[in-house]
Chains A and B, each alone.
Chain A
Amino acid sequence: MEKKDKNISAMSTPAVGEAGLTGDWRDMKPVIDHSKCIPAVKKKAACYLCWLYCPEGVIKAGIPVEIDMDYCKGCGICAEECPAKAIAMVTEEG
């Protein structure tokens, strides 16, 4: 049997996933072309404007850059700000 919530008022614990996977709100998804993305091309920490501008904080400033698609809402700001035009917004299937 499923565990039942005993709270009499709405409460939650701050945790990843507490508010649900907000990635399913997405209409368009960002796709990175690592042959253009600066940290991947230079093989060192550089640029990361996508990481800086992402309002959801779902971009990992690594080599290569990664996006957590469980929580990316598909706003497209990263694609708009990328100086190398390495991010394309692609329609989600289905």
Chain B
Amino acid sequence: MTMAEVQIMTGNTAAAIAAKLCQVQVVAAYPITPQTSITETLSQYIESGALKAEYVRVEGEHSALTVCISASTVGARAFTSTSSHGLLYMHEQLHWAAGSRLPIVMCCVNRGVGAPWSIFNDQQDSIAQRDTGWIQIYCRDNQEIIDTVIQSYRIAEEVYAPVMVCYDGFVLSHTMMPVSVPEAALVNSFLPPYKPHTFLSAENPRNINPVIFPHMRKNSAGVLCDGYMEMRYKLQKSLEKAKDTIIAVGMQYTKLTGRDYSELLWHYKTEDADIVLTGMGSIATEATVAVDQLRLQGIKAGVVGVRVFRPFPRIALQKALQGARAIFVLEKAISYGYEGALCSDIKAALYGTGISAPMHNYIAGLGGRDVKAREIAAAVETSLGEINNKKTHNKTVWINCRQ
């Protein structure tokens, strides 16, 4: 372990410092609240020469990610960040980045999506991009932001898949906390240079992403090339394999820093807990305070935080939830017409395992509405009353919302 410097900083500063420590070579981004200060900080680093990188100014987020795709294709380590409508505007290019198997790292500073207009935090933006083939990791505090960005380049460049580092707008992005900044030498030893799987060479030209046909086909050299389905199968396999990579990389980072990233989940007071609260990002942090309050009432509650959402930690969740008498899934997003996406995914993970504990889905904090620990605790107490009376096994509850 090396000596690290502790500084007080916002989540966005933490993200910018992390990108600098990773020596990103190309940054392309478009301003959008609450992400903007990440790329403002990076542009200052580049202008002052503190970071040797190309800052490409673009006319929108679609182009921002396209620049990163091009840069990554020819072997540059690329970084971008966005929020909300900016992420949605990137939607097409998210698929292109993943399908091209490019290890781009992007910070998504979570913000609600219009209409109506909101600049405030929820996670509808990144949840809506769940199926684009990106790895999604959610941070619960600013320390996790700096650490996750650094680990993400290593993960992305090992499995050749892009990583979206998600964290809550304002709650983390603009809130100052103490953050231990790893030494540059530590990051350098942890993160080897990026080796691209594609390249640009006049002597050995390639068509990258040509039209691919439904069937497999021989190329001019007689090699049987993958069809579209084989390519997509490879993407799926790489994301499944990424679980092991994320854990291996996390364990190595843990060894270097002393901060625990050895799992796809994190746990708070779960050893003896029979009531489990789960969620992603800062709402799960808030749940730890709610758990402390519930424990004062004699309720043995704990929190299982979901750090990695894609690839989905199915087996880890089965293990973490096997002793639960009731499960409460807190979400700052919803799949309209059904329930929260995390809740559905957890239910699917438990299918066939024999775990059939009641599960209530809490939709909270949409569009930046404050989520208080006592509101979570009160909701859990109400739910437990209903569950004990065998009233509701499965329910979606909107917390702190006039109905």
Contacts and interface: CB of A to CB of B under 8 A. Distances in A.
Interface of A: 2-5, 7-20
Contacts of B205: 13-14
Contact of B217 (A9, A16, A20): A20
Contacts of B217: 20
Interface residues of B, number: 27
A3 B223 CA distance: 5
B234 A12 contact: no
Majority DSSP secondary structure for residues of A touching B: loop
Given A12-B210, A13-B207, A18 B220 contact: yes
B158 interface: no
Given A8-B234, A8-B238, A13-B205, A19 B210 contact: yes
B169 to A, nearest CB: 32
Contacts of A15: 219-221
B57 interface: no
A5 to B, nearest CB: 4
B378 interface: no
Contact of A9 (B198, B219, B222, B224): B198
**Most chain A beta-carbon neighbours within 10 Å: one of B206, B222, B225:** B225
B208 interface: yes
A18 B224 contact: no
A15 to B, nearest CB: 4
A3 B210 CA distance: 20
A4 B219 CA distance: 11
Contact of B207 (A3, A16, A17, A18): A18
Given A9-B100, A10-B209, 18 more contacts: A2-B223, A3-B223, A3-B224, A4-B224, A5-B223, A5-B225, A8-B160, A9-B99, A9-B231, A10-B212, A10-B231, A11-B198, A11-B208, A12-B207, A12-B219, A13-B219, A14-B205, A17-B220
